[in-house]
Amino acid sequence: QVQLQESGPGLVKPSETLSLTCTVSGASISSSYWSWIRQPPGKGLEWIGYIYYSGATKYNPSLKSRVTISVDTSKNQFSLKLSSVTAADTAVYYCARAPNYDIWRFDPWGQGTLVTVSS
């Protein structure tokens, strides 16, 4: 079965760039859409953006100026970079898969990784 695992630093300083990687197992990354979603502590879910294996991307306009999502098909991974972070970017970050025919059917999700923005 398809499994996703997020990885990256758990602590990032304000104004720096948050970098996370999602490793996909059980399926080729060259077959679906891949999203990043986050959840600040005690708050709801927020979609960040997605990438297709071809490199095509779509970002949430509220974060677009600071977000870059990329894919490495040779490693079966995709990555998130969020620049100029502040405390408001502290959240659990999830990666998720969606099929070609329904880009919003997030299934499955990774377990999530907590990123804290603090000096």
Which positions lie near other proteins, rule CB under 8 A? 37, 39, 44-47, 60-62, 94, 96, 102, 104-112
Residue closer to other proteins (CB basis): 16 or 40:
40
Closest distance to other proteins from the beta carbon of 107 (Å): 4
Closest distance to other proteins from the beta carbon of 103 (Å): 9
Written as one string, the DSSP assignment of the chain is --EEEEES-SEE-TTS-EEEEEEEESS-STTEEEEEEEE-TTS--EEEEEEETTS-EEE-TTTTTTEEEEEETTTTEEEEEE-S--GGG-EEEEEEEEETT-TT---SB---EEEEE--
Closest distance to other proteins from the beta carbon of 60 (Å): 5
